[in-house]
Structure 1
């Protein structure tokens, strides 16, 4: 027989979330202009999936407080929440930062900030576009 390794099932393995030292090396800072919300979400979810914490931002209920894994879950959630906070511009961080919250709550708050204003932003841009007159533009390029 070969050199088959037998794993000790009693030895707990380190969760992948603990191996990340600097989230900004993986996910750029969301500022809404250089890094858009949609691209940030895609990168963040990809990273979360790779580090086995995607369930912390999806619509998955947190563990019950009486669960034997609850303490571990809350520590991982706190680290993941720190990842979210660490990839936000200062302006966004001030709007999202809260005491005693979860990664899911912060995620939903950000989502609401960026997606709830789409309709009103589109209406404002349409209004601006329909009222734009060539005479107020400095050139044809600016008009277009």
Structure 2
């Protein structure tokens, strides 16, 4: 990540080009993770989030949550609260299921749902839409 004017980087960086998935308030997107340190990473995305956005990144089985600190074109830097096990992340070793006592849950990404789960979700969405339309028509007519 880029250090600000007069700031030195305190953590060693490891260069890697790893594919991953990023989730923010706008959805889930594919990303590439570049250099990684114990407290952050450089990420490249077709849809970079705005500075200050909280993001979740899943790369090589590791879940990394942090805040976007800077954005430059398609590249941006993410600063994490928890330390990253850089060697395990780069090597692709399995990540621990627990980080600082908190269980990491799988992302609820509709793109990875089974067909049955997608049919059920869209069916419920359709029923909700029809019920809402019925109530609106009933309210406006009467």
Both proteins in one fold, TM over 0.5: no
Q: TM-score, normalised by structure 2?
A: 0.28
More helix, by proportion: 1
Q: TM-score, normalised by structure 1?
A: 0.28
More strand, by proportion: 2
Bigger relative CO (Cα 8 Å, ≥ 6 apart): 1
